[in-house]
Amino acid sequence: EDQVTQSPEALRLQEGESSSLNCSYTVSGLRGLFWYRQDPGKGPEFLFTLYSAGEEKEKERLKATLTKKESFLHITAPKPEDSATYLCAVSWGAQKLVFGQGTRLTINP
Amino acid sequence: GAGVSQTPSNKVTEKGKYVELRCDPISGHTALYWYRQSLGQGPEFLIYFQGTGAADDSGLPNDRFFAVRPEGSVSTLKIQRTERGDSAVYLCASSEAGGMETQYFGPGTRLLVL
């Protein structure tokens, strides 16, 4: 069964303290890996799509990278407004996305 | 332009009742998806429409759940004989053509079955 696992489940950082979130997935047949941000009471907001190993995407303080077996979301010098749940989702060729359980990120001022 | 919209934003019902949840996709998007999200979990796929037809309904948990998209735009998710375990946030997403394009999500409908 195709699976997506995110770690850690929760992460608390001080403002300015850089860190990384991990997303690992069943390896064979990956077509695309997606990162979303979700604020409480809202729907997921698209951040990045990665298609092949070695690919990197950046947006403000966020950078997503992809290897053959996992993806990382690096957050550099985070601010309190970066606090949210970050979701990783994978497509193996069918149109549906399979999501991980998310990482709940809290940035303390 | 406008994003994906969902109505109602919240729905409280009693066990055994019938509910309908509505999704308006982004204009021009031919692909539409329904997901369900339980507290503390990631969204789980329910059904995918390409145009008017359900191309993949493998995520529907049982025959109490049904969805339609009669004109290829608005979709309705219908749940019969609701159970307390159906309580969750129901999310709708749309994409341009249903390939590897980005899926854009609506705000969700929070369903509570008492």
**Predicted local distance difference test score (pLDDT) of residue B99:** 72
CA distance B39 to chain A (A): 10
What are the pLDDT digits (tens) for A33-84?
A: 999 999 999 999 999 999 999 999 999 999 999 998 899 999 999 999 999 9
- Taking a contact as any Cβ pair under 8 Å apart, which residues of chain A between 41 and 80 contact chain B? 41-46, 49, 51
B56 to A95: CB separation less than 8 angstroms, yes or no: yes
Q: What's the rounded Cα separation, in Å, for the pair A47 and A80? A: 18
CB contacts of A21 in chain B (<8 Å) are none
Residue A92 has pLDDT above 90, yes or no: no
The structural architecture, per CATH, of the domain B5-95 is: Sandwich (2.60)
What are the pLDDT digits (tens) for A18-45?
A: 999 999 998 678 889 999 999 999 999 9
**What is the mean pLDDT for each group of 10 consecutive residues in chain B (114 residues)?**
92 98 96 96 96 94 97 96 98 87 95 98
A44 to B43: CB separation less than 8 angstroms, yes or no: yes
Tell whether omega for the bond before A8 is within 30 degrees of 0, i.e. cis.
yes
**Dihedral of CA B8/B93/A64/A24: which sign?**
positive
Can you give the residue ranges of every domain in chain B? 5-95
A94 to B56: CB separation less than 8 angstroms, yes or no: yes
Q: Which CATH number fits domain A4-108: 1.10.101.10, 3.40.50.720, 2.60.40.10, 3.40.50.2300?
A: 2.60.40.10
**Predicted local distance difference test score (pLDDT) of residue A78:** 97
